[in-house]
Amino acid sequence: MSNGSAVESRIAELGLELPAVAAPVAAYVPAVVTGSWVHTSGQLPFVDGQLPATGKVSASGAAGTVSPEDAHELAARAALNAVAAVKEAVGDLDRVVRVVKVVGFVASDPGFTGQPGVINGASELLGRIFGDAGVHARSAVGVAVLPLDAPVEPPRQGRPPAVRWFEIPEGQRGAAQAWLERGAGIPGSAPSPAAAVVFVRDGEHGVETYLKYRPGNSPLGTVGFPGGTLEPHDDEPLDWAGPSPADWARRLGVEDDLGRARRTVVAAVRKAFEEAGVLLAGSDTMSTIESVEGAEWMRSREALAVGDVSLAQVLGRRRLVLRSDLLKPLAHWITSDFAHRRYDIHYFTAVVPDGQAPSVLESKGVWGRWVDAAQAVADPAGSWLGDLVGQEDTVGRTIDDLSSPGVQCVLESVAECTSAIAFLARKRAVVARNPVLEVHDGRPVLRLDLT
């Protein structure tokens, strides 16, 4: 059954049916989603749990070998098994934007050199299934032997999605339904400009990022990054190091509003200090303050939180310089129109200066800690992150229910990188993302066009 999927309808038109995903033959899983990529493990040409043929591929016709023609068909079957593994991993094959690369292994008789023709079986089938999106880079490699004496094994790498769907958090479903009932497309409230900082570091198992818990239905998510709205006092003069507001306006895509660009950077530094206790400032343009612990610093954070002081005042009293050069622009997200509270938020990334350590705000901080980004996004249907936070309104809840689409996508981009330095060094175009409320499979969801 196609279940409305154009790709699965095409598979049916080819007279094929997606098989059940073959059980792994060792300690691995058939496919892994990381960020916007799906990586499949090597797929053997199983049919109903059995290999139709075994042995090395040979053009000699010798007994016990597999002909190139039969191997061509087996490669197609292995590719179909890989497609089934992708479907199990992402749910909907229409989400696949591109088959990026196929690496096919052919168990070859010593004199056999026709590996490309054998793996054409996989490539041709992927082209028929995915059309232009199935055209890929490829390697065809001859090997002495494959697992279970299989003749072929083509793993595959693909990239979803052109369109992505996000579930509506439980606390916002009423507002989403009301919006749809009165007619989607009605302009929503104006989004408040905001900023957040994504701190990263290398952890034991991968790149970690600092997350915090927020009670209620913040546009930043119940679990998200330190951040918040821009305030008028973010305009106050202060000592500044790093790119100028004009440079930041260009980097953030707000070239016509230098004031907003400056306020966004100041708000990012302010909220990082207030909510996470990390201060991106120093005594001069080349240094950073080594410690912001102790009662006096906490009083400054508390005063910032209630609006009694500005960041300019906190820095000025200590003759500190704001280090805008320690921030890198990361992403730009706008809350969907249906939400009662909306943010137009710029995400930055940074590392915590030497000698400093994140901490929650004494008066209202509940939970904040470093989290392995890959672990946080590894199982979208699971509750690992919510259980880790351990609050009454997080335990048992999925990441869709805990975090905004922006937070989820940022976490995925962190998880894709092998080190904090690699994440910080990655070049990015900061494009505004604005998920749209739609009905998909009979329920309200957020649709994000990534083309």
Of the candidates 137, 177, 120, 118, the one whose C-alpha atom is nearest the C-alpha of residue 338 is 177
Chain position carrying tokens 């053997």: 44
Contact 394, 216 (CB under 8 A): no
What is the average pLDDT value for the chain, to the nearest integer?
Answer: 89
What digits encode the pLDDT tens for the residues 113-128? 899 999 999 999 999 9
Helix 258-276 vs helix 295-306: angle between axes, to the nearest 10 degrees? Answer: 130
CA-CA distance, 448 to 431, in Å (whole number)? 13
What pLDDT sits at residue 114?
A: 92
Rg of the Cα atoms in the chain: 26
The torsion region of residue 55 among left (phi > 0), alpha (psi -120 to 50) and beta comes to: left
**Model confidence pLDDT, tens digit, residues 389-431:** 999 999 999 998 999 999 999 998 998 888 999 999 988 888 8
Cα gap 294→418, rounded to integer Å: 34
Tokens matching residue 340: 């009662």
Cis peptide bond prior to 161, omega within 30° of 0: yes
Domain ranges for the chain? 6-159, 187-435
Q: Which residue has the tokens 């104006």?
A: 190
Predicted confidence at residue 26, as pLDDT, reads: 67
3-state helix, strand, coil in the chain (%, to 5): 35, 25, 40
What are the residues whose beta carbons fall under 8 Å from the beta carbon of 293, sequence distance 6 or more? 277, 357, 359
Which of the residue ranges 15-29, 97-111, 280-294, 432-446 has the most confident prediction, judged by mean pLDDT? 280-294
DSSP codes, 320-379:
-EEEGGG-EEEEEEE--TT-SS-EEEEEEEE-PPTT------TTT---EEEEEHHHHHS-
pLDDT band at 339, cuts 50/70/90? confident
More confident of the two residues 317 and 440: 317
Give pLDDT, residue 27: 72
Provide the pLDDT for residue 4: 64
Residues sharing a CB contact under 8 Å with residue 401, sequence separation 6 or more, in sequence order: 167, 169, 170, 222, 386
16, with CB counted inside 10 A (0-12, 13-18, 19+), is middle
Q: Give 196-230 pLDDT, tens digit per residue.
A: 999 999 999 889 999 999 987 787 889 999 999 99
Rounded (10°) angle between helices 6-13 and 115-130: 120
> Would you place residue 49 in the very low, low, confident or very high pLDDT band (cuts 50, 70, 90)?
confident
pLDDT at site 159: 59
What is the helix (H) or strand (E) element at residue 195, kind and residue range?
A: strand 192-202
Is pLDDT above 50 for 2?
A: no
The whole-number pLDDT of residue 365 equals 81
Section 132-137 average pLDDT: 85
- Domain spanning 6-159: CATH 3.30.1330.40: yes
Output the pLDDT for position 183: 65
- Token code pair at residue 377: 């996004």
In terms of CATH, what superfamily is 187-435?
Nucleoside Triphosphate Pyrophosphohydrolase (3.90.79.10)
- 6-159 and 187-435 share one fold: no
